Structure 1
């Protein structure tokens, strides 16, 4: 079954009337802040959170809640930022949670982690959200800093024949508003995470990579570097969580951050992103697999090995050589991401981010033809293009979880009109080193 319905998102500025309509409806449903014993309309993110996890987890909690209530995206992002900021300004020590036996057994930890009560934090977060909504309704506060461009996004994900759905994907069209960034540069963020050994690592990455990136001082000067650092920090955070909670899962991941007219991508493992430009798929990255010569040499230099067990695997276990998590395979499975950047000229068609459940069964050279044929049948509507791509991967033999996210960089109707004279699949264009920042390991 689908874990994420296809969605077509036209990002618009949230006008005052639209803002007030939402705030009126919210305050009708919640006429007063919750009392000490009254329930709150969401589930806390676990039992305990470390201090470093609080910003990302609370942001994700309130963002998802507002999304479920169909809040205008820009308004939802601004409300989430305002509410979380108020929580972070309080003395969080009052939410400290006594250590459990797991923490007490970590004898080799020189600096034991102070965990906070997630349920208490979830309660105060809703109180702060209610306060913000009440004040904004009273003063008709407009949403600050709306994005300058519209986005069309189609996303679809299925569990397929696997027992569990371990993929996660993220689409943040109002990135600046979500994190209170006030400069004049538009930013939008998209990501796909493919978990293995459980969903915990993928869910953690889908919550924290973008939150960590937003807090990097170099975000405005070196966005690709900020993404790489965000992956590294997220891996370190999850490893600490994994040790506390005895988790062994891991996740590959790929993300794209569009900053003004520049595309920045970062990745770990074999989830991939391609850029389609004038009908040709442009290769932006090389997946991290154990059979890559440089990856094999890195693993062997650390004392590990690469062997063939139905496919090439690290220490006979994992088929990817870089990932967030996988605590039992560190450092052989690295948490260091690669990154690349590319200037966008305006002639780009779309981005496609997907997990290996898609790319192992649908080669990049087939993507452009599939998308073009879909747009032709749908008269230029891109609403269900990700759904059709997922179905194609399944028809061609994929049994894995499948996630596809398509970000149109031009109106798909324009793409259709521009291709009417030339049908058929387009070959994959070679990488263009002069347009890319070389990946760094």
Structure 2
């Protein structure tokens, strides 16, 4: 089926793009920036390639492979003709010259590489790697809610290995939620570049926690350079999950959170960073800062977060250092949920298992039948929408983003719950 879907998509794609884009052709996707550093080129190219393919209904696995192949060709090209003229003062950072590239021209070259790969594969499709064996069905929903702007971003990347050409036999999937403030720039930047930086870390396989911490710090440093060049002032909290083999690694900055549910019980993975948390307050005061209450607890009377990517006017009080936890997976895990504080301000982590089961039951009852694997899968995909609706009804006025990554088929969760209910009734005291 995967090969059949791939061939069908490629046949449609080459009809729309039968040849390379000409110099005067309109680009089918807009550049993410006017200028980009060489380091930013990797993430921006992949983001736009994946967006182009997703908009045309490409299978996710094929999209990752096409983008990886096109990027590999791009990085072997001579990009010096696309270098921007040196702007002596603007591009000086810590004593070295930063090379900036004219984004639109390089994007055109990347898209032409992508089209070329698609044309080649349409003629002779290579053997596609098999899909991950772990059940990783994902439900996601995000709303602006009553806020003026949507400043959340999220990433769903079950094809982590395919996108980065990793072939070590260890399955990987990556998920993240970024909750921006003061604008969406920092959240957008982290959603494009953090997983790219993570893929480049040498300790990824042996020590994912260290790899994550380094990737967060590097992404913060990269955004600092961009913020200086373009006078950006925003920040973002973030929570990211890497499922690597039988290991689940969570990394976070700020108050976005992840919760694991195992056999219907919530498992604490993390302690969110908030200014009023005692160790965070002490860290900030030791640096000479302060925590003040102005409707909520704020760092130096400004930001309501104590750790974030960005917020450079309050570094180091608002720290860019992520925390991590590692949890072993035994096969009896139900799902992992990631969400921003717009969700968790209205929902306690301990409430998550009940809310997800309620959503599964309600959606199952609304469906006609609901017994086939496909029908159960469709029910699972709508769970995040129910959770977001609950948080809004419970009083959240903030942007809300929820991702639920199911680690088992949803029907097993309902059977498990029914079994628990039966066992409980058997042990109920006689009246």
What TM-score do you get using the length of structure 1 for normalisation? 0.90
* Matched residue, 1:433: none
Q: Within 2, Cα distance between the matches of 1:43 and 1:106? A: 24
Q: Mark the runs of 5 or more structure 1 residues left unpaired by the alignment.
A: 1-12, 425-441
Counterpart-to-counterpart distance in 1, 2:211 and 2:90: 34
After TM superposition, the score normalised by the length of structure 2 is 0.92
Match of 1:386 among 384, 389, 392: 384
The offset of 1:135, in angstroms, is: 1.3
Identify the residue that residue 291 of structure 2 maps to in structure 1.
306
Comparing 347-356 with 299-308, greater Cα deviation is found at: 299-308
2:32 aligned with 1:45: yes
Moved more, 396-405 or 365-374: 365-374
Asked if the contact 2:18–2:119 (Cα under 8 Å) also holds between the matched residues in 1, the reply is no
Measured in 2, the distance between the counterparts of 1:263 and 1:213 equals: 15
Give the distance between the partners of 2:339 and 2:120, measured in 1 at CA.
Answer: 41
Partner of residue 59 from structure 1, selected from 46, 50, 59:
46
- Give the 5 Å matches for 1:54-133: 54-99=41-86, 104-105=89-90, 109-133=94-118
Q: Taking structure 1 as reference, are residues 421 and 18 closer, same or farther at Cα in structure 2, changes over 3 Å only?
A: closer
Partner of 2:11: 24
Is the alpha carbon distance of 1:405 and 1:85 closer, same or farther for their aligned partners in structure 2, counting shifts above 3 Å? same
Q: 1:36 aligns with which of 3, 23, 30?
A: 23
Q: Is the 8 A contact 1:48 1:117 kept in 2?
A: yes
Most deviating of 141-150 and 112-121: 141-150
Bigger drift between 397-406 and 40-49 goes to 40-49
Q: What's the CA shift string for 1:251-309, capped at 9, x where partnerless?
A: 00001100011101100000000001111111110011111121112112222111111
Alignment of 1:354-433 (within 5 A): 354-379=339-364, 380=376, 381-422=379-420
Unaligned runs of 5+ in 2: 365-375, 423-431
Stretch moving more, 162-171 or 302-311: 302-311
Q: Shift of residue 421 of structure 1? A: 4.4
C-alpha displacement at 1:86, in angstroms? 0.9
Alpha-carbon displacement from aligned partner over 1:221-251 (angstroms, at most 9, x marks no partner): 1112111111111000001110110000000
C-alpha contact (below 8 Å) 1:19/1:142 kept by paired residues:
no
DSSP-derived class of the 2:2 partner: coil
Cα deviation digits, residues 91-132 of structure 1 (max 9, x gap): 2222111245xx735777522322100000110011100111
Q: Distance in 2 between matches of 1:199 and 1:86?
A: 31
The correspondence of residues 152-301 of structure 1 with structure 2, limited to 5 A, is 152-301=137-286
CA contact (8 A) 2:153 2:178 kept: yes
- 1:337 Cα offset (Å): 0.3
Kindly report structure 1 stretches of 4+ aligned residues shifted beyond 6 Å: none
Q: CA deviation at 1:345?
A: 0.7
> What CA distance in whole angstroms lies between the structure 2 residues aligned with 1:159 and 1:353?
17
CA distance in 1, matches of 2:30, 2:92: 32
| Stretch moving more, 82-91 or 249-258 | 82-91
1:14 equivalent in alignment to 2:2: yes
SS in structure 1 at match of 2:203: helix
Q: For residues 217 and 97 of structure 2, what CA distance do their matches in structure 1 show?
A: 21
| Structure 2 CA distance for aligned equivalents of residues 107 and 68 of structure 1 | 38
CA–CA distance in 2 between the matches of 1:291 and 1:370? 28
